[in-house]
Structure 1
């Protein structure tokens, strides 16, 4: 279910992130295809709350620093350990591929920290990116940490859509993947959700949070290197005392 008012706030933020300059209500309305009345109501409300301001009178609105201070306060209450952030940066540097930390969000995994590859052809992801929990190595590395009862509850929430020919299409198929990963020593994926994308993931549990660390990139570079990537990941996570 999508709440339109909430979605519009996020769309407005993304609009400013792209354009990086003040915009009038008319410019916002035209760019986003919103009715003028709806645009006025949203912008006026955010301005009244201090989240938008006019750098120059009648020169257009721009987000204030209140967004940043609010987000910092939220993040400070539930931070990732510095050792994990450092490990993610090191893994990214050694593998050359986008590396992220995932956490379960219903039938999805949401990336709560991302260190993106600098290669021209790469997996584009950012904090907030969501992937299906059953159709990703990042997701299955979290599922394996759950009890059977917890996993069954998650499976009931999943719509098993065939994103590709390699997408697991049932709870039984996912369970089989978890068993294979246990024997292999790491979770992996090959174009299950995004075409031509290969991933490698490991589970970690920190302060009762079930997390996963995933490295993902083009199959042309990563598919044949999955065991090598998993080894590099384990070395860094062990060195930072994040896994045994």
Structure 2
């Protein structure tokens, strides 16, 4: 069960990441969609813990460096990221596209590591983003790592969207995954993000299933599948051996 108070705090920091400027109590209350009294309690708690400060009297609040310091310290102790982040960086450099490592979270995937492309036109992704597992190439890559019966059980519990190109229903998705197993890689074409294409392969490391993908503009990727998949397979082999 989700805890609304925690959702509000996380939403607050995401608002700051988007706005990148001090925000007043009124502005934060409106952005969060909660009463001023509740917003005030959140602000006062975060100020007392050193996560927010008032930039000037009635000038608004802004995050301190404390959250960044905690995040850096936490990531320094992440054994998965420490082991394989360099491989994601190398894959992004080799392909010129954004590289994503995803893990399954029920019927979604969560991006556990991301290295963005340096190209001016690119797929923007953030660690922690969630997508429906059957609408991303990395999610589909995780699905094909399961055996037939287990995969069929997962597919039965998914929510399908009739307007999607390749995943209108369970039968179409099953057929697509069967074809992906034969060729050894998965793809999505503008299924979760308009004009973006993704190519993904499964990878196992540390006893867990992951989906490794590269994603970028459709116009740049659709005629470059062979080279991109070769880089993906090489990276997955290296990560699986770590």
TM-score of the superposed pair, with normalisation by structure 2: 0.85
Q: What is residue 225 of structure 2 aligned with on the other side? A: 226
Does residue 242 in structure 1 map to residue 234 in structure 2?
no
Shift in alpha-carbon separation, 1:100–1:25, aligned structure 2, 3 A: same
Distance in 2 of aligned mates of 1:89 and 1:80? 14
Does residue 206 in structure 1 map to residue 205 in structure 2?
yes
Q: Alpha-carbon deviation of 1:153?
A: 4.0
The answer (yes or no) to whether the contact 1:87–1:236 under 8 Å persists in 2 is: yes
Distance in 1 of aligned mates of 2:84 and 2:133? 21
The answer (yes or no) to whether the contact 1:164–1:195 under 8 Å persists in 2 is: no
Pairing 1:35-184 to 2, within 5 Å after superposition: 35-54=35-54, 60-72=60-72, 74-75=74-75, 78-170=78-170, 172-184=171-183
Q: Alpha-carbon deviation of 1:91?
A: 1.3
The answer (yes or no) to whether the contact 1:134–1:168 under 8 Å persists in 2 is: no
Q: Alpha-carbon deviation of 1:205?
A: 0.5
Distance in 2 of aligned mates of 1:81 and 1:34? 36
Aligned alpha-carbon RMSD (Å):
2.7
Q: Per the alignment, in what secondary structure is the counterpart of residue 211 of structure 1?
A: strand
Distance in 1 of aligned mates of 2:206 and 2:37? 47
Shift in alpha-carbon separation, 1:223–1:107, aligned structure 2, 3 A: same
- Compare 26-35 and 186-195 and name the one that shifted more: 26-35
Does residue 6 in structure 1 map to residue 6 in structure 2?
yes
Q: Alpha-carbon deviation of 1:215?
A: 0.6
Distance in 1 of aligned mates of 2:225 and 2:161? 25
Q: Alpha-carbon deviation of 1:198?
A: 1.6
Distance in 1 of aligned mates of 2:206 and 2:21? 41
- Superimposed CA distance per residue, residues 20-39 of structure 1 (whole angstroms, 9 cap, x where no aligned partner): 44433234335555432222
Residue segments in structure 1 that go unaligned for 5+ positions in a row = none
TM-score of the superposed pair, with normalisation by structure 1: 0.84
